[in-house]
Amino acid sequence: MEKEQSKVFWRYFKKNWLAVGGLIMVIVIFLIAIFATVLSPYDPGKTEVSLKLKPPSLRHYLGTDQLGRDVFSRMLHGSRISLTVGFIAVGISILIGVLLGATAGYYGSWVDSLLMRFVDTMLCFPSFFLILTVVALMGPSLINIMIVIGITSWMGTARFVRAEFLSLRERDFVQAARSLGVKDLRIILRHILPNALAPVFVTATLSVASAILVEAGLSFLGFGVQPPAPSWGNILTEGRTYIFDAWWLTAFPGLAILITVLCFNLVGEGLRDALDPRLRGRR
């Protein structure tokens, strides 16, 4: 049955050429991040003032920055940080969202009301400004950024999972498990959760793109990854001062962020269309 569902999913997913193209680009970006050290022609932290603000050339493919560092090498290593932030932050948010959403949807009653009011309260705060405030208080560091993004972006996942659990807990296979005396935790983990993960995969893919954007925004404002560690956001903010003299310092990291976020969004939309039977007929 699972093999048949996988075949159906892939048949619909591959019809969406934008999603397939986005998936290929995501894989390419992953490979670039993994092999950044091998692909980098220079040490990303090596400074050479005599070569500062050199335009793109055969020696420096994306030019150099104000300290003479090779932008291409810094971009390659920056991809690691951006993807690391995206995936770890989303992992944290998915874990919290699934835990709270599953608890609220399965038990219902006052538990559901209490947890959903907490979700509504969290949604009242503008997420980016909440992240900015917390990072400013905790101090800017890679670990703090990942944790803060994760613990402030789980609400959508919690609502999706809750809705799935509210529907699935009334199904015959769940009622049969209850009648056999199966414990609640086993029912949640073995019987309901695997059937409720489809929207979670879609949300996770789209959330990675959002987390990368948030990290870039924080780095641009000076609250993100701190120099000399390269990230697309702080490369972008360093180039802001030289935007009219060295266009490549803002153009290339901006383009990298755009392409990466766009590709993750395309994959997420493709997953949503392929996993939702109501949307398959549109393709």
Structure tokens at 13: 């997913």
Residue closest to 266 by CA, chosen among 224, 225, 194, 206: 206
Confidence check: pLDDT of 52 > 80: yes
The CATH number of residue 132's host domain is 1.10.3720.10
**Domain membership flag for residue 10:** no
- Work out the mean pLDDT of the chain and round it to a whole number: 84
**Domain membership flag for residue 161:** yes
Span 10-34, average pLDDT: 88
Helix (H, G, I), strand (E, B) or coil at 64: strand
Residue closest to 254 by CA, chosen among 34, 71, 30, 132: 71
The CA dihedral of 185, 187, 189, 195, to the nearest 10 degrees, is -150
Structure tokens at 140: 């800017």
174-213 pLDDT, tens digit per residue, is: 888 778 877 878 888 887 888 787 788 888 888 888 888 8
Global confidence as pTM: 0.83
Q: Which domain holds residue 205?
A: 69-280
Give the amino acid at 205: T
Helix (H, G, I), strand (E, B) or coil at 70: strand
Query: What's the rounded Cα separation, in Å, for the pair 75 and 59?
Result: 15
DSSP code of residue 196: G
Q: What distance lies between CA 264 and its chain's CA centroid?
A: 8
The better pLDDT of the pair 232, 128 is held by 232
Query: How many domains, the chain?
Result: 1
Q: How many other C-beta atoms are found inside a 10 Å radius of the C-beta of residue 252?
A: 22
**Domain membership flag for residue 51:** no
Confidence check: pLDDT of 172 > 60: yes
**Domain membership flag for residue 28:** no
Query: What's the rounded Cα separation, in Å, for the pair 242 and 245?
Result: 5
**Domain membership flag for residue 227:** yes
**Domain membership flag for residue 198:** yes
**Domain membership flag for residue 22:** no
**Domain membership flag for residue 174:** yes
With contact defined as beta carbons under 8 Å apart, do 244 and 83 qualify? no
